Amino acid sequence: MQLLITGSAGFIGSHCVRAALDRGWDVDGFDLSHPSENKRADTRLLTEIRTDVVLHLAAYSSLAGFSGAMASNYVNNVAGCWNVLRLAQQSGARVVYASSSAVYENSGDEDESNSEWTPLDSSDLVSHYAKSKLMNEMMAGSFAEIGVKSLGMRIFNAYGPGDEKKPADRQAPPTWMMAAKRAGVPAVIYGDGFQSKDFIHIDDVTEIIMRLIESGATGIVNVGTGVATSFNALAELIMCEVAYKPIPHPESYQYFTRADTTRLRSIIGEHRFKSIEEGVKTL
């Protein structure tokens, strides 16, 4: 298997590099934060793709911070994906790319799971990050009409070793673990803490991505556990002090996410996810 990973130095990307190499695949990586000394080699990777699959993970991934550099972030997330799809069209490679559960911005509640079959209306989205990811899916759909095979992964709230390198405003278990270790420094919960998210451990994300690459599947698929955990329950599990603050952008905030895993399981078969209790212990 020839695999090109964009965003290879990122949180998910770095784990995928190791997992792909463990499978014996031939892996090329590209990441703007770790440019190679040979600039021509980087240019070749993105202009002359010679690979079976492109795993496209490169993107700006902060909901809250997206509007801080709107133009460059749209270029990274939208134009970057378009370039990968265009080059895949030329080379015949299949593209497996990261979308996001953020596209379900206003479509989830505690009575139902987020399903790929739920119609999404771009006019309902407030988050520019979510808009950029939905645009990726729309572009992939257009390229599919001219023969480019792709699979968009709506990844839910991934966490695990390496996630602590993200900005401090991320709502993720590692951030709270770090707060728990510092006496007198509480973990910040934006809102009342009763919001619930589908937290998925990076080991599960990585294994699922590898199996999705092997599957040859196309279209859209959720990458989540199907279980939602409240922030208050997570803080109690971590045993950290908590400080509650107002949600900075309530108009675009997702209060509930839980993946419908029906299609995921139809593609990869059964998979035992780490529970949130097991996942926190790995940190």
CA 98 to each of CA 21, 85, 153, 156, 181: distance values in angstroms, whole numbers, following the listed order = 20, 13, 5, 10, 32
CA–CA gap between residue 229 and residue 198 (Å, rounded): 6
- 180 falls within a domain: no
- Of 50, 55, 61, the C-alpha closest to 20 is 55
The model's pLDDT over 193-208, given as tens digits with 9 standing for 90+, comes to 999 999 999 999 999 9
Instruction: Of 106, 100, 105, 97, give the one whose Cα is nearest residue 139.
Output: 97
| 233 pLDDT more than 80 | yes
Q: Tell whether 27 is covered by a domain.
A: yes
Structure confidence by residue, pLDDT tens digits, 88-102: 999 999 999 999 999
Q: Is position 231 within any domain?
A: no
How large a percentage of the chain has pLDDT more than 90? 64
Q: What is the mean pLDDT of residues 242-247?
A: 91
Contact 126, 252 (CB under 8 A): yes
Say if residue 230's pLDDT is above 60.
yes
Distance CA(98)–CA(136), nearest Å, equals 9
Indicate the range of 41-45, 123-127, 156-160, 247-251 predicted with least confidence: 41-45
Lowest mean pLDDT among 71-85, 221-235, 241-255, 257-271: 241-255
| pLDDT interval class at 37 (50, 70, 90) | very low
Determine, yes or no, domain membership for 148: yes
CATH classification of the domain holding 104: 3.40.50.720
Q: Is 28 strand, coil or helix? A: strand
Q: Is residue 219 part of a domain?
A: yes
Establish if 83 belongs to a structural domain. yes
What domain count does the chain have?
A: 1
> What confidence category does residue 38 fall into, taking pLDDT thresholds of 50, 70 and 90?
very low
Average pLDDT over residues 30-50: 63
Give the domain extent around 94. Answer: 2-156+200-225+259-273
Helix (H, G, I), strand (E, B) or coil at 115: coil
* Residue 109 pLDDT class (50, 70, 90 cuts): low
Tell me if 188 is assigned to some domain. no
Instruction: Report in angstroms the alpha-carbon separations of 138 from 28, 88, 145.
Output: 27, 16, 11
> What average pLDDT score do residues 12-25 get?
97
Tens-digit pLDDT profile for residues 253-268:
888 999 999 999 999 9
> pLDDT tens digits, residue range 130-177?
999 999 999 999 999 999 999 999 999 999 988 866 665 565 687 788
pLDDT, averaged across the chain: 88
**Residue 191 within a domain:** no
pLDDT of residue 123: 78
